[in-house]
Each structure stands twice: as C-alpha cells, then as structure tokens.
Amino acid sequence: MTPEGIDDRRLEEIGRREARCFAERTRRSAELLERARRSMPNGVPMAWMAGLCDHAPIFVTHGEGAWFEDVDGNRYLDFNQADLAATLGFAPPAVTGAVRRRAAEGASFLLPTEDGVIAAELLAERTGLPFWQFTGSASASNTEVLRIARVATGREKVLAFEGKYHGHIDETLVDGRGADARHEALGLPRSVLATIRVVPFNDLAALEVALAARDIACLVAEPMLTNVGIVFPDEGFWAEARRLARQAGALLVIDEAHTHSFAYGGLTRAWGLEPDLLVVGKGLGSGIAFGAYGMTAELSDLCVRHLDGSVAEADGLALGGTTYGNALALAAARASLEQCLTKEAYRRTAELGQKLGDGLEAVFRRRSFDWRAPVIGGRSAWVLFPELPRTAEESYRSLDRRFVETRRLFMLNRGIWEAIRTAGPALSFAHRQADVARYLEVADAFVAELRDGG
Ligand SMILES: Cc1ncc(COP(=O)(O)O)c(C=O)c1O
C-alpha cells in the first residue's frame, strides 16, 4: 500500500493491463522508435523524450489548440504542453502568422529587430523589471543571470531551495545540504558542489543561516515550487526572504520559466516579489526556443560597463549566443505577449484551472480519498494527502513513481497526456470547459478503479 490508502497490487494490475493496451495502440510509433534507435541514442533527438515515461515515446504528427495527434492516428488532449513551452496551445494562429512572416523575411541576423524592442517594453511594463535580454532558453537565461550576480556582488556562491529546477545548468544541479551535497545528474564538475547551498522551501531560519557568511551572490528561486507538484510559499514568506537576502548583500533572482503562465505579469507582479533579476522562457516563445531575463537599471548599467564582443574579452560579461535574441523567436514572443497573453486570457485560464482543481477534489471525495488538488492559474496537482505540502520533501510523497506512471498510462490510453512525472495537470490558454470535463471523467475512472476495482 504505497502511498497510504492505495492498493499496490491493484496498481500493478492496472499498470500491466494498460501497458498491453498502449502497445496495441502505438504500433507505428514503436516501428519508428526501432528505426530511430539506429541513429539516435534511445531513439530520440533529445534524451528527455525517452526519459519522460516508463513506456516508449509516442511520435507526433501535428497539434492544434489543446490537442495533438500521433503517427498511429491517436488524438490526445495535452495537459502539460511540453512542460509549459506551448502554454498557448499548439499552433496559435496569431503566433503562427507572425512566425510564418518572419521566417519568410529572414530568421536570424545577429542584429536587432523592432520586435525585440517591443517584447522588452511589454515585459518591462508587465513585470516591473525595466531592462531585458534575450537568450535561447530559460536554462541559458539562468546561466547568464548567475554570471551577472557574481560580477555584481564579487561573490561566487548561489543559494537555492530544495525541489528547485532551474534548467540543466551545472550550478544548480546539486542537491543535499552541507557535507551531503551531491550532483543530481552525471557529467558535472565536482567543483559545483562547493558553489551552491540548498535549504528547504518555506524555512526562513535555514535561509538566514545559509546567508550568514555573507558569501552568497544570489538567492535563485521559483516564486513557488512547480517542479515537485506545486508548493505554495507561506503567508509573508517572500517579504521576509527578500529582506534576509538583501540584508546579507545577496541579489534575488526569481525564475518564472513556469509561473509566468499562471498570472498576467507572472507571480512577480501578482505577489509583488521585487526581484533584482527575473527569468522567463518556455511558453513566451510559444514552442519556439526562447528565453529572456529582466533586470534592474543598476544591473543594466553593469552590463553596459562590461559589454562583451563576439569574442570573449577579459573585462566583458560572458553573455550571449549566436542564435540568442534572433528575429524569429522575438517575433513569436511579441505576438504571444501582444495578442495571446492578455489579461482576459489569463483570467479565463485561471477560472478553468479552478474548475479543474475543484473537480479533482470532488472526484477524490466521491471515491473516499482524502486528497487535495491545489490550483495556481491553469495548473493543478494530485496531492495524495489531506494537507497541502509546504516543502519539496512533503510534496515528493505524492509523486510515488508507480502511482504516477500508472495514472498517466491509464489516462494516456483514454486520450489524456501529461508529459512530466513530477508536475500535474496544466491547462493551456486553448483549453475549454469540455476538455476539463474530459480530464475529470478519465481521472474519475482511474480513481474509481483504484478504490473498488472499477
Ligand atoms: C523553473 C524552471 N527554470 C528553468 C527551466 C529550464 O527551462 P528550459 O529547459 O526551457 O531551458 C525549467 C524547466 O523545466 C524550469 O522549470
């Protein structure tokens, strides 16, 4: 019985049955995978596409709005949107039009276009951070903001929260405290173990201790944890965390790669977070590789003083990349911001998100599970306990691998896709009430079978 109240044997039976069903439905994907294994490790162009699930990857043909279709002709309602990289839904007409026009006129010049000016102005107006730079991903943005923080403070160390994820960058792929610090993945230099300190989320005392040596360049954090289910900050947490960081001479970096899609202007605006540096990416490019970061006027001056040419210069800040800030990505970002990520669209998505969370809790109650489904914007989570988690450690208890894998496979076979094991359902801006209803119907069938064999 793991987690509590779930019959392990029943979970296993469901898993076996659904795996057989999946194999039947995805024969063409299986053929493509076999062929692809001869030219790509794991048969995929990027490792995660094979690592996302215990089952084989499905090969996609096309998508529109909340749906995509695979090579076997199966249609899926997507409740993850490429880990929020396609939060506007697939092929949103406004972005598709802008990208088509831009591609026909040249995608990349290593020179600025007007779209970049407009995207920067819109981001400044929405988030309160006055100056912006563009990269190719949120990971790349985090790499650059850490460099800026190091130069600004003359310090090397980074402070982060357990349950963090800030991209596949060396500095933050470390977990564990003090002597227990360990790499989260292979291929990283040993030296990074000494340059990061990690403390539990919502633990102000631990934060204060970690800052005490005054050797931290920046505290880098999501406004709330979104890579281990979802974990909200305690009331007043951010005001005090910010005060402690500033008092210790550290900058505050807020990473809104996910949370920017939860509220207009992101949670930075909604919760008044006042960071020194702010990272966004993913959905703002609407599927086109994109990243950006905002900064204060003071940090912008620093970037101006330490301008780097295309060849690394000793006095230049190491910022930039050949395809960063390219015309195509900026056209996509401008169209997304101007035409899709409107106040009204955020409001509508959050309203539907609330229906999703309320509906899930109703399903849990109906099937006599004392579980919760917190909501932020269009995102929810399956919390397999009566209390919401306050830390990553508490949240991990709801992410039991077998439970999540079985649930996702059951739902996949019924046309619901959730790509990320440690996330939870998320609505795109293209989802409609009927899509939420379908999710709840399938969720109910799964929970009913767990409770009493269906
Ligand atoms: C909070 C956060 N920051 C950064 C990233 C990295 O984004 P990307 O993989 O697009 O570089 C992620 C990816 O999930 C994320 O969740």
Tens digits of residue pLDDT in 176-223: 877 788 999 999 999 999 999 999 999 999 999 999 999 999 999 999
Residue 2 within a domain: no
Find the 296 Cα to ligand 1 centroid distance in Å: 22
> Quick check: CB of 220 below 6 Å from ligand 1?
no
Residue 26 within a domain: yes
Q: Which two tokens stand for residue 225?
A: 């944890």
185 and 292, same structural domain? yes
Q: Which atom of ligand 1 is nearest to the CA of 83?
A: 14
Q: Write down which residue in 321, 340, 359 finishes a domain.
A: 340
250 and 121, same structural domain? yes
For the cut 90, the answer to whether the pLDDT of residue 105 exceeds it is yes
CB atoms within 10 A of CB 386: 10
Instruction: Express each pLDDT in 374-383 by its tens digit.
Output: 999 999 999 9
Q: Are 245 and 211 a contacting pair, CB within 8 Å?
A: yes
296 and 427, same structural domain? no
Biggest alpha carbon–alpha carbon distance for the chain: 67
299 and 265, same structural domain? yes
Find the 3 Cα to ligand 1 centroid distance in Å: 28
**pLDDT band for position 67 (50/70/90)?**
very high
Please give the pLDDT value at position 453: 77
Residue 225 within a domain: yes
For the cut 60, the answer to whether the pLDDT of residue 87 exceeds it is yes
Domain that holds residue 287: 93-340
> Quick check: CB of 144 below 6 Å from ligand 1?
no
Its sign, for the CA torsion 73, 75, 76, 81, is positive
Please give the pLDDT value at position 176: 81
**pLDDT band for position 71 (50/70/90)?**
very high
Please give the pLDDT value at position 199: 96
Q: In whole angstroms, what is the distance from residue 76 CA to residue 91 CA? A: 15
For the cut 50, the answer to whether the pLDDT of residue 232 exceeds it is yes
CATH number at residue 104: 3.40.640.10
Q: Write down which residue in 285, 319, 340 finishes a domain.
A: 340
301 and 188, same structural domain? yes
Pairing mode, strands 60-64 and 182-183: unpaired
Find the 422 Cα to ligand 1 centroid distance in Å: 13
137 and 178, same structural domain? yes
Find the 139 Cα to ligand 1 centroid distance in Å: 6
Please give the pLDDT value at position 117: 98
CATH number at residue 15: 3.90.1150.10
For the cut 50, the answer to whether the pLDDT of residue 226 exceeds it is yes
Q: Are 137 and 84 a contacting pair, CB within 8 Å?
A: no
Residue 84 within a domain: no
For the cut 90, the answer to whether the pLDDT of residue 344 exceeds it is yes
| Domain count along the chain | 2
Q: Which two tokens stand for residue 7?
A: 């019959």
Find the 423 Cα to ligand 1 centroid distance in Å: 13
Q: Name, in order, each residue with C-beta under 8 angstroms of 264's C-beta and a sequence gap of 6 or more.
A: 126, 270, 341, 342, 343, 346, 347
Take atom 9 of ligand 1 and give the residue whose Cα is closest.
167
Q: In whole angstroms, what is the distance from residue 308 CA to residue 320 CA? A: 8
Q: In whole angstroms, what is the distance from residue 116 CA to residue 109 CA? A: 13
Q: Write down which residue in 317, 340, 363 finishes a domain.
A: 340
For the cut 80, the answer to whether the pLDDT of residue 303 exceeds it is yes
For the cut 60, the answer to whether the pLDDT of residue 1 exceeds it is no
208 and 283, same structural domain? yes
348 and 298, same structural domain? no
Q: Flag whether the pTM goes above 0.95.
A: yes
Exposure b/e, 154-177, CB count within 10 A at least 16 = b: ebebbbbbbbbbbbbbbbbbbbee
Residue 427 within a domain: yes
Give mean pLDDT, residues 60-69: 98
325 and 351, same structural domain? no
Please give the pLDDT value at position 252: 98
Q: Which atom of ligand 1 is nearest to the CA of 282?
A: 10
**pLDDT band for position 454 (50/70/90)?**
low
237 and 150, same structural domain? yes
> Quick check: CB of 282 below 6 Å from ligand 1?
yes
332 and 240, same structural domain? yes
Strand-pairing partners, residue 165, are none
Residue 432 within a domain: yes
Residue 3 within a domain: no
Q: Which two tokens stand for residue 337?
A: 């911001």
For the cut 60, the answer to whether the pLDDT of residue 2 exceeds it is no
215 and 109, same structural domain? yes
Residue 57 within a domain: yes
